[in-house]
Amino acid sequence: MEARRPGVSRIVVAVDGEVDMRAAQSLAVHPGVGAVALLGPTKSPHFPTVASAAGWDLVLGSGRAAQVAAEHALIAAVAGELSGQPGISLGSPLGLALALAVGLEGIQTVAVALPGSPAGESVVVFPSPIDARAAAVETVDGHQVHLARGEGALAAAMALGSDRHRVIIDDHRFFEGVALAAAAVAALEGGLVDGPTPVWTRAEAYLRAAVDMGLVIGERSPAD
């Protein structure tokens, strides 16, 4: 029998990797989520497993979630992009950085730091302990984001405007799981989803959910 708490949403997670499982764990502690289950054949001692997504409110994941949601006419929340179907897309570090940029004036830099081999012709300076890193420019739904990889387990999302700077730094495993999980909450709390909807178009709900799940947004003026 599935575990339930008072809430309005029931989310099935199509697990295709560690990020999806960590997203399930973040959803399980969110007060707005009534039930979380894993789509078979994935099994875990912490969650029930269901054979079908039928009857659930939303399918979340980084791989097969979009296809599963389409098969059952459900909303999807995914780490990548969606092709025409209703759902929240780009629940990822790149989407999180673009959500941080919403509301800033004179945007100068939107950037993400992740573990990996350094590459790129530009340099982005993140707060310590990440500091300066080589970065490559990625185009995300028409927006430019600097992606900087380097040693260590930390990840960051940063948006620099002429009026304010915003940044999130955390362990990359937790960071990526929350970035995906918060997309599901934004989908269910933000009203009707009638097509592919990037997370930054619901930035307020998305960032609030990410904070509720444990991420901390640092904000300061450029003069500080």
Closest CA to 10 of 32, 38, 43, 33: 33
3-class DSSP assignment, residue 18: helix
Please check the confidence at residue 157 and state whether its pLDDT lies above 60.
yes
Please check the confidence at residue 5 and state whether its pLDDT lies above 80.
no
Closest CA to 185 of 211, 205, 157, 203: 205
Please check the confidence at residue 31 and state whether its pLDDT lies above 50.
yes
pLDDT value of residue 192: 67
**Mean per-residue pLDDT over the chain, rounded:** 93
| Mean pLDDT, residues 134-138 | 97
Q: Is the pTM of this model over 0.85?
A: yes
Contact 176, 61 (CB under 8 A): no
Domain boundaries, the chain: 9-91+177-212, 93-172
pLDDT value of residue 36: 97
List, for residues 64-106, the tens digit of each pLDDT value. 999 999 999 999 999 999 998 999 999 999 999 999 999 999 9
Higher pLDDT, residue 224 or 196: 196
Contact 112, 97 (CB under 8 A): yes
Measure the CA–CA gap between 64 and 78, rounded to whole angstroms.
9
Those residues whose C-beta lies under 8 Å from the C-beta of residue 213, and which sit 6 or more positions away, are 26, 29, 30, 178, 181, 182
Contact 187, 88 (CB under 8 A): yes
Per-residue confidence band for 26, with pLDDT thresholds at 50, 70 and 90: very high
Please check the confidence at residue 1 and state whether its pLDDT lies above 50.
no
> Which helix (H) or strand (E) is 65 found in, with range?
helix 65-71
pLDDT value of residue 6: 34
Measure the CA–CA gap between 44 and 182, rounded to whole angstroms.
21
Higher pLDDT, residue 126 or 9: 126
| Parallel/antiparallel/unpaired status of strands 109-115 and 154-160 | antiparallel
**Domain 9-91+177-212 annotated CATH 3.40.50.720:** yes
Measure the CA–CA gap between 113 and 167, rounded to whole angstroms.
11
Per-residue confidence band for 114, with pLDDT thresholds at 50, 70 and 90: very high
Exposed, middle or buried, 106 (CB in 10 Å: 0-12/13-18/19+)? exposed
| Mean pLDDT, residues 49-66 | 96
